Amino acid sequence: MPLRLKPGQELKTTLMHYVQDQKLKAAFIVTCVGSVLRATLRMANSKTITTFEGPFEIVSLVGTLSGGEGHLHISLSDKNGKVIGGHVIGDLDIYTTAEIVLGECENTSFLREYDSETGYDELVVYHDEKATA
């Protein structure tokens, strides 16, 4: 499923709305190229959330999406080619464009449930009969 986001749209919010509107239950990012003005990210093994001011080129976007939830990681490069990346919190306001291709696993649902071992809501995959419920 290809889509293009335009200047001013917020990437994560727009993707979440698209997934809900299309009733996608097990979507994932195939590819994404484009640019953003800023990004709010959480770094690895950290509770600290940081907003970075761009503009940045989107070098990579990966993750899973379902209903109103998603788990996205992004890599961004600045005008000097320096790359930053992390867990997407938001504020990914599109600068010029974002060309995104989504895929969906058939007969599958992605849900997020609290995992006491990690302390986060983690991916739980349901197949077949539970996926169509």
Q: Is the peptide bond before 7 cis (omega within 30 degrees of 0)?
A: no
CATH architecture entry for 2-106 = 2-Layer Sandwich (3.30)
pLDDT in tens, the chain (133 residues): 999 999 999 999 999 999 999 999 999 999 999 999 999 999 988 889 999 999 999 999 999 998 667 899 999 999 999 999 999 999 999 999 999 999 999 999 898 889 999 888 888 889 976 555 5
Q: What is the residue extent of each domain of the chain?
A: 2-106
CB-facing half-sphere around the CA of 93: CA atoms within 13 A: 9
